[in-house]
Structure 1
Amino acid sequence: MSIVNDIRTAFSRRDNALNQLLLINVLVFVFLVLTKAVMHLSGTVAYYPNVLRQFELPSDMPSLLRHPWTLLTYAFTHEGPFHILFNLLNLYWFGALIREYLGDRRLVSLYILGALAGATLFLLAFNLIPTLRPYAAAGVPLLGASAAVTAIIMAAATLLPDYTFMLFLLGAVRIKYIAAVVILLSVLAINQGNPGGGIAHIGGALVGFLFVKQLQAGRDLGRPVQAVGDFFVRLVTGRPNLRVTHRSASAAPAAPVVKKGAPTLPGQDEIDLILDKISHSGYESLSKEEKQKLFRASQK
């Protein structure tokens, strides 16, 4: 079937992380919808919660110990069509920015770290805060990509705070304000019947902010995630590790002379002009050189 071939092609490409994340979420959603439909027709829908329990993150520790994989699978699991729609739209919009500026591997790392941070804060809150312990006792679970997506939104806002999106009815809005609204809604959710989701979103937002700040300081928080991913890729594909050899100092070539045209870090005035251009004409109006300058400035 062409659909199967398209999915296989999407996962075979190494520069397709955003579409792969979107596809995993869609495939899990379709699987659960079809499973529930089949169980409903066969009269076994009463057992569907047992199926869902293999994906959602439980709030009580005994259940988590029996289902440790749910620390990640919950972030790819949705039940309602609007829930997955809003998450995937945000993932597509903001993930495209992270992918363009930081690359595919860092996008995946950020998604995974955001999911783990959301899960960790959720579990700590439900098991340590007295007013939330009844939720854990009742077995209230967590599911959805919101924590991971919030990490990506906050990372994009931290990296490019003045980048603008054209929003329906609102016009051009800078993403730093979008991120602020997302945080505010997460805090409101804690008081309005969804404390688990709100707390998980805040955990993801913290990771998104720290991820970019540490990256700008020269530290990549995503390297452990990338190392684990590389290990499993080698395990599945059988590819050997790449070995890097270092020459001795005596055999090392002379240091290359820096060319006059070598790229230098742009000044603040240049960056301000570029950001003003984005706010007036959008990111697509930038030249390739301006995009590169903005990227180099984000690494300072």
Structure 2
Amino acid sequence: MKGRTIILDHLGDVEAAALMVDGQLDDLLIDTPEAPRVGTVYRAIADRPVKGQGGMFLKTPDGSAFLRQIKGLAPGQPILVQVTGFAEDGKAIPVTSKILFKSRYAIVTPDAPGLNISRSIRDEAERDRLLEIAHEAMDGASFGLILRSCCAGADDDEIAEDITAMLTLARTLLGDDGNEMETLVEGDGPHVLAWRDWVEPAEVVTEAGGFEAHAVLDALDLLSEAYVGLSGGASMYVEPTRALVAVDVNTGRDVSLAAGIKANMACARTLPRALRLRGLGGQIVLDLAPMPKKDRRPFETALRAAFRADGVETTLVGWTPLGHYELQRKRARAPLGDLMA
């Protein structure tokens, strides 16, 4: 099946959303009933500083959180924070005090003033139109604003309404003067996130049973395996351990001199999707197929381009003395293996 299809459904009683591109599962969002959603805003209470790490443990309604900030923060002090990712078992919830108010068209940034248009919008007339909308909707507010790439060609009123909604939410929350820990805003669930982030034109399926009808359940069965097929008969195995995610690349039956670089380039193109669908982050180590050192730079270029198009922040760390390649990826989602257990 050609084209893009967004399927909004449930896995049992859990809300979920899937994005199919040309008949292949490209992205997957599953709610986390046992953990706070990314984007949740707390009024937290400072608990105790962590010497040597420059951070502070906080008390929240959902348990202990960790904030990489200590300056100006004393134990017992209330502070507004936002969940930035998922915590591993037994670890504190990662949070930030730099809260973002994000919707489909607009992101209000209280800590970064200024009006900004997505750099992917290059048409000057369109940028001028969006700036006019932004100036009018922000109405002199001191907060910052980012208009996202999907604003290009969007209706003026829809963009303005989105900005106003996020601005109102920001003013309400940042005007909070409470002293007790409390959950102030729940993060967006999978269906809202699909509307917010999957903005390219697509057919939207909302009927119950959509996952079965559009082969999402079959794709989930394949994701339970470490094996990932690559072009040209190559393959890779994506295997999470407690310490890191190991990726082993194999050339398959290809015994040509170029087999290694072909398999590794296929890995570079496929890896972001493989990690995204499995919800994997943290330290990632690639055990690549053998290739000459002169081919390392083209591989890195392809890997960088692939992750640039991915929605999860990933840092390309570099080569190890053993010839492995290391990455550090934000734990933006819960691991699929935990959700499906």
TM over 0.5: no
When normalised by structure 2's length, the TM-score is 0.22
More helix by share: 1
More strand by share: 2
